[in-house]
Chain A
Amino acid sequence: MPDQSGPPDSVGILVPTGMLGGGFSPETITRGLCLGADVIAVDGGSTDSGPYYLGAGVAKTADRAVRRDLRLLLAAASSARIPLIVGSCGTGGTDSGVNWVADIADAICAEDGLDLTVAKIFSEQPADHLLPLLEAERIHALPPSEALDAATLRRCAHIVGMMGHEPIEQALRAGADVVLAGRTTDTAVSAAFALMRGMPPGPTWHAAKIIECGGQCTTSPAAGGVFARIDHRGFTIEPLDPDTACTPASVAAHMLYETVNPYTMREPGGTIEVAGARYTAIDERTVRVEGSRFEPAGQYTVKLEGAAVSGYETVSFTGIRDPQILRSIDEWAESFTKALTGRVETVLELAPGSWGADLRLYGYNAILGELETEPATPAEVGVMLLISAQNQQTATEISKLANPLLLHLPLPTMNYLPSFAFATSPAHIDRGAAYEFVLNHVVDVDSPTEMFRLEMEPGHA
């Protein structure tokens, strides 16, 4: 229930892990509750593992891993009578991701006899809802992307809007004990409860950014969760693992992590400014931060993420150990591409732009490609051929044309056919639909909650 007695002196936030399903020890929770946690916040998603999870609407995390983490968190929320907030459910934050986590939560509540009111907040945006906003010039590109067009919106398999803290606060005020949110800014997950309880936005948003990846801001990132206490002048932060420390450098350095600019970060409602923040050690494992600011923006914006099918793919893999080939591996690759292109044109009669191939020479220059300055002659090379076509059947057909080349293609100077080392039979694996991120745009909105849909379910017990 909303507190009627005015803001508390401080709000304690327990972040058990950087990702729901990432795992943490039960002691992490015990320790956080002992420190007086007022809320448990955990992120459930990211774009960092690529466009597949949003495009296909499936989670990166394992069902059993999410179930295991959620069971501990629901029990803690129930026993301590504090809210649990999960952001970006199901990796991509799609409606299917929210429902997936909600189904797991419902099953646990029923099995363990927990009486918790669960709120679901959906963030998926049908293209049809966005097209009038595009027409009204309310959707703008973020650098380095170009202006959006209607065709790109229509191509998307899934589009999500990244919510700020307001839809979460709305759910908490409506009586939710557990909030399972679709795509949410990493920071809003942790900031929502503290902002609702009247903590100042500068320290709250800054603390939320520091703790969003769990132990990443500590001296031992693998060790697990962190605890932040926000007050009216700043915040203090410490790891939940007693053998791990937060130092001024480890905390300050977290503003560098996966950010373009380490001093300012745009949120839907404004900008976090930390250039003036001061980081001081309170003891050998606790850091105090003051001086962070939050500058409200003139226009509230919701960032869109969208993934569209880029094609259907087949991957093939072979190995080359013969030093004679390896000494001329660039020449071999060039010859391969030429031979495959010729076969595809003559046998399948495909137009050049209608399919694509990426030949990767692992052990030589696969990862950096043209950025690799002087690759040495390798001892062996893993040759991965990734084919993309407009449907799976075509991608498979192209891979079958490539098969004899991946097995036997000689150097142009050789007068016999070598045989290379296929790793598996068959040598190719169909990957199905592949996706690409196509949105990097924001929508001007009148209300922070208008693009998000709240559903509440009463408790079971």
Chain B
Amino acid sequence: MPDAPRTLGDLALEVRSKNAGPFWMTLEAFMPDDQTYRIADALITAELISELYQVPSASVQLFRIPDLRVVKASFPRPITQGSLHDRDMHAGQHHVPLANVLCP
């Protein structure tokens, strides 16, 4: 029986997002084991973040932390916190596009 499509969010312990100060946003994928960490590590690139969040890939900082099985991505907030068009004051719901990415 073929497996159902798996998203990064399905595999992860947690995928989360948050402000890192008013001008930056940061995303983290916490993976449960080395195998799923390797999947996340290969999947999450500056190009992927650039495409999902419509930010320049050169502005994305990536941190790969095998000891914690975490991949972290930070980039300048396209919309400054609290401005008229900011709909997510704490950037706490912006993990969803990353969590919805299908894993190979």
Contact = CB atoms under 8 A, between A and B. Distances in A.
Contacts of A263: 63
Interface in B1-46: 18-24, 26, 28, 30
Interface in B74-101: 74, 76, 80-85, 87-90, 93-94, 96-97, 100
B82 A259 contact: no
A51 B74 contact: no
Contacts, number: 100
Contacts of B97: 368, 371, 373
A252 B63 contact: no
Contact of B87 (A142, A253, A366, A434): A366
B5 to A, nearest CB: 14
A360 B89 CA distance: 14
Nearest to B70: A256
A256 B82 contact: no
Interface string B55-80: 00001010101011010101010001
B50 to A, nearest CB: 12
Nearest to A439: B22
A207 to B, nearest CB: 19
Query: Size class of B's contact patch?
Result: 35 or more
Contact of B23 (A50, A262, A367, A437): A437
B48 interface: no
Contacts of B89: 49-50
Contact of A436 (B20, B21, B82): B82
A436 B83 contact: yes
A386 B82 contact: no
Given A51-B22, A370-B54, A261 B83 contact: no
Contacts of B68: 249, 252-253, 256
A17 to B, nearest CB: 18
B81 A371 contact: no
A257 B80 contact: no
Contacts of A313: 84
A388 B26 CA distance: 28
B35 to A, nearest CB: 17
Nearest to A253: B68
A144 B54 contact: no
A435 interface: yes
A370 B85 CA distance: 12
A258 interface: yes
A50 B20 contact: no
A52 B82 contact: yes
Given A50-B81, A252-B68, A368-B94, A440 B20 contact: no
Interface centre among A256, A313, A388, A436 (most CB of B within 10 A): A256
A310 B19 contact: no
A260 interface: yes
Given A310-B84, A371-B54, A259 B20 contact: yes
Contact of B22 (A356, A388, A440): A440
B84 A388 contact: yes
Contact of B74 (A49, A260, A367, A440): A260
Interface centre among B22, B59, B89, B96 (most CB of A within 10 A): B22
B51 to A, nearest CB: 10
Contact of A437 (B26, B53, B82, B96): B82
Contacts of B30: 253
Interface in A28-52: 47-52
Interface string A230-249: 00000000000000000001
B79 to A, nearest CB: 9
A330 interface: no
A284 interface: no
Given A49-B89, A145-B23, 8 more contacts: A144-B59, A256-B26, A256-B68, A257-B18, A360-B87, A366-B87, A436-B83, A440-B22
5 A-B pairs closest in CB distance: A144-B76, A50-B82, A437-B22, A51-B82, A260-B74
22 contacts: A47-B81, A50-B89, A143-B76, A144-B23, A144-B24, A256-B68, A256-B70, A258-B19, A258-B21, A260-B74, A358-B84, A366-B87, A367-B93, A368-B94, A368-B96, A371-B53, A371-B97, A386-B84, A434-B82, A437-B23, A437-B80, A440-B21
